[in-house]
Chains A and B, each alone.
Chain A
Amino acid sequence: ETGVTQTPRHLVMGMTNKKSLKCEQHLGHNAMYWYKQSAKKPLELMFVYSLEERVENNSVPSRFSPECPNSSHLFLHLHTLQPEDSALYLCASSQSDSYNEQFFGPGTRLTVL
């Protein structure tokens, strides 16, 4: 595997389900990110982990719970989601120093019924 991978690529869940999104980066980076991309809205930064510590939480509802067990893996745990949470969830990684570009995964298309 190379770059940033995300699984699953597509997910359909009910509002009472619990699921997790997984992201893995193979670039040796030390920062990882979760973004939400809804239709007709700019990408929204949700969480940032740098050196495995959460450094940013952009007022994201508690039904989204991130986990970063090491610098290569990032999870987004989902529970009791709402239909408006349906979106493309993108993971990215970068080196945290200076203006380094972020490398993105292919995303998980989430549909909440």
Chain B
Amino acid sequence: AQKITQTQPGMFVQEKEAVTLDCTYDTSDQSYGLFWYKQPSSGEMIFLIYQGSYDEQNATEGRYSLNFQKARKSANLVISASQLGDSAMYFCAMTPGGGSNYKLTFGKGTLLTVNP
């Protein structure tokens, strides 16, 4: 069974500063995928970034980067130059390998508030 742990229920950051949202995972699979999603108050889950377990480089997408430390089983999301529109819930998720790669397991989320 897979498990995602997000230990920060809430985080605050000043506008234009960087913030790191923590995510650790537990799996016995050798191959897996890691995802981060953003959920604004409107409810829609927005895909941000993906990291494969065999990817040697950390994933980056614009202001988002994923700090992947495989040995520590952590996949932290780093948001640079925070904007007011970044205020939302952020979910870390993973899928197993093999034929079950559609099964997304989500963490409980971190509520990020960006202050002006």
Identify the A interface with B (CB < 8 A).
31, 33, 40-43, 45, 48, 50, 55-56, 88, 90, 92, 94, 96, 98-99, 101-107, 109
Contact = CB atoms under 8 A, between A and B. Distances in A.
Nearest to A42: B106
A41 B109 CA distance: 9
Contacts of A103: 47
Interface string B95-112: 100000111111111000
Nearest to A97: B101
Given A45-B103, A102-B104, 9 more contacts: A42-B91, A42-B108, A42-B109, A50-B102, A88-B43, A90-B45, A96-B102, A105-B44, A106-B42
A14 to B, nearest CB: 23
Nearest first, the 10 A-B pairs at minimum CB distance are A99-B33, A104-B45, A107-B43, A43-B106, A101-B47, A106-B44, A42-B106, A42-B108, A106-B43, A99-B101
B52 A107 contact: no
Interface of B: 4, 33, 35, 37, 42-47, 50, 52, 91, 93, 95, 101-109
Nearest to A92: B45
A99 B95 contact: yes
Contacts of B33: 99
A99 B108 contact: no
B103 A41 contact: no
A101 B44 contact: no
25 contacts: A42-B91, A42-B109, A43-B91, A43-B93, A43-B106, A45-B103, A45-B104, A50-B102, A56-B102, A88-B43, A98-B101, A99-B33, A99-B101, A101-B35, A102-B47, A102-B102, A102-B104, A103-B47, A104-B44, A104-B45, A104-B47, A106-B42, A106-B43, A106-B44, A107-B43
B83 to A, nearest CB: 21
A104 B38 CA distance: 11
Contacts of B102: 31, 33, 48, 50, 55-56, 94, 96, 102
